[in-house]
Structure 1
């Protein structure tokens, strides 16, 4: 697919307005029976087609350019909001700028891989793991679009506790929502079976300084296969933490906390609602059973140099009250 450039002046008023309507609708309906229903999904799809009538439209974000995976109706609208993953990416950029090796598990279309490759030192390299073919295609396309393909090695495989294979259930609208949970999208949905590797068994050219894991509930399995990788060199680790997604994959979310706190590491909550980074309270996180609006991404650091990059106020303890 040849990307079609968005208006050179940037997103149009119409595109921004339509995407704002889509985002507002999703927020309003998030906790209601209408969320994800047939009529709601159809309306969202129609609005998305009005905003992006040309497949492969390039969306500018944080100084880079991105195309979305085929069928996605979520990522472009989120990017045009201007604050998509902004707290996480601000901190990720700080850490990436001092990294020679980065691992991106669940790279999707390459938001973190492209951002890391653009910010890391000249001799740095990224290994990006993305098992879904449509996402991997968009990832490679976005790396080429931003002139970063020579800095990122794309592995079209899943990551887990050991080499093997994994069946993924595909989200029909969100390229970042594909899941290993068997009941993620109801019966009869599309699936894909992909090869699987373990980070501890991967033939690294260089050990990572920074690891990002976003596996839609499969994080426990990823971490089970990364014990040596995290112990050797003590990289900083970004992990998505959504307890109900982890439970849907058959795992205990507390295993994520065990891995993040191992070897005297410090763990921090990235509170994107309040726009702050705060020291995590393990008991408070262990008590969560569902997605918390203030807390779905954690950072674990073991090196003093990484702690020094945390923003002011990060030593204060985060609470579930936000």
Structure 2
């Protein structure tokens, strides 16, 4: 029987089952599996699937790249969990997760540091149902979404661009419309519990500096451990400069940082005053065709230096490309 003769409901059920099989890896390597995935995303409504994230079932759209990435790198993003565990042992038990996406980072953190309370912030409305579903099991995880954080409160012109389970705010002018933005400092006036976070994570596809600038009061007073995505290309798209951002953090009292590659492997630790080294790493990640075109940074002030010293306590095997 031709698929066109099947009822829409039967086609939908079949599509959902295929989508789940693709997510589970049961069709990996099968001829046409990539095309099937593409068709279901583009023409099948991008169905919701469940994914086992380190023992916790999470809901996410088929288009999300997390299952694909972790199939190749099983410990991808676990470095955030390791940092959160050390923060709860040595600094405190509150975290702000900017760029919370579907809640996958909160799930990882809660597995490593169950006692930590998390404020999840994300600008993309399409992720909100997944974020709510995946964090509902924890009463100490709060949601502020959809909320666009920037360096000032008020209108901002740009476009939210979603691709493969991540979203970035594009200020280049193409397809731009007016959005309402707020600063993290202003948002936290309504979130007393998180006014002095021990850990602040920002994974906002290039908007990191603008998020941090809007949190200057909070950062300067609390000096939280910072866990930041650092991708030079996307930082440029947001009209910011990563090296200038690091210099500014130094002026607020931050001293050292650890640098992970984008697969979650610790590369090195250095001082923020090691400008030549940081410039070389920035240039390397900016190189056309570079595989490691982004880093995760853990940036600390004096009171959190012992956390940085313990980051070499690697948990789990190293996954090579």
Equivalence for 1:75: 66
| Deviation per residue, 1:42-80 (Å, 9 max, x gap) | 786138689x998211011122222224x7353332233
Cα–Cα, structure 1 residues 64 and 245, in superposed 2: closer, same or farther, change >3 Å? same
SS for the counterpart of 2:134 is helix
Equivalence for 1:95: 86
Equivalence for 1:110: 103
Q: C-alpha separation between the residues in 2 aligned to 1:171 and 1:264?
A: 32
Deviation at 1:82?
4.5
Which of 129, 133, 137 is the aligned partner of 2:129? Answer: 137
Which of 208, 211, 215 is the aligned partner of 1:219? Answer: 208
Provide the aligned length of Structure 1 versus Structure 2: 278
The normalised TM-score by structure 2 is 0.72
Q: C-alpha separation between the residues in 1 aligned to 2:30 and 2:143?
A: 33
- The answer to whether the Cα contact below 8 Å between 2:51 and 2:59 also exists between their aligned partners in 1 is yes
The normalised TM-score by structure 1 is 0.72
Q: Which one has a bigger Cα radius of gyration?
A: 2
Q: C-alpha separation between the residues in 1 aligned to 2:223 and 2:167?
A: 29
Q: Give the strand-richer structure, 1 or 2.
A: 2
- The answer to whether the Cα contact below 8 Å between 2:81 and 2:111 also exists between their aligned partners in 1 is no
Q: C-alpha separation between the residues in 2 aligned to 1:214 and 1:104?
A: 8
- The answer to whether the Cα contact below 8 Å between 1:180 and 1:217 also exists between their aligned partners in 2 is no
Cα–Cα, structure 1 residues 59 and 182, in superposed 2: closer, same or farther, change >3 Å? same
Q: C-alpha separation between the residues in 2 aligned to 1:161 and 1:12?
A: 41
* 1:199 equivalenced with 2:184 (yes/no): yes
Note the 1:166-205 alignment, pairs <5 A.
166-182=156-172, 187=174, 194-201=179-186, 202-203=188-189, 204-205=192-193
Deviation at 1:238?
0.8
Which of 189, 199, 209 is the aligned partner of 2:198? Answer: 209
Equivalence for 1:11: 24
- The answer to whether the Cα contact below 8 Å between 1:163 and 1:197 also exists between their aligned partners in 2 is yes
Q: C-alpha separation between the residues in 1 aligned to 2:312 and 2:244?
A: 27
Q: C-alpha separation between the residues in 1 aligned to 2:180 and 2:39?
A: 35
Equivalence for 1:248: 237
- The answer to whether the Cα contact below 8 Å between 1:93 and 1:115 also exists between their aligned partners in 2 is no
Gapped runs of 5+ residues in structure 2? 1-15, 315-321
Equivalence for 1:60: 52
Deviation at 1:239?
0.9
SS for the counterpart of 1:251 is coil
Report the more deviating stretch, 261-270 or 282-291.
282-291
Equivalence for 2:310: 309
| Deviation per residue, 1:173-215 (Å, 9 max, x gap) | 32313223325xxx45xx7754322122322324110011111
SS for the counterpart of 2:200 is strand
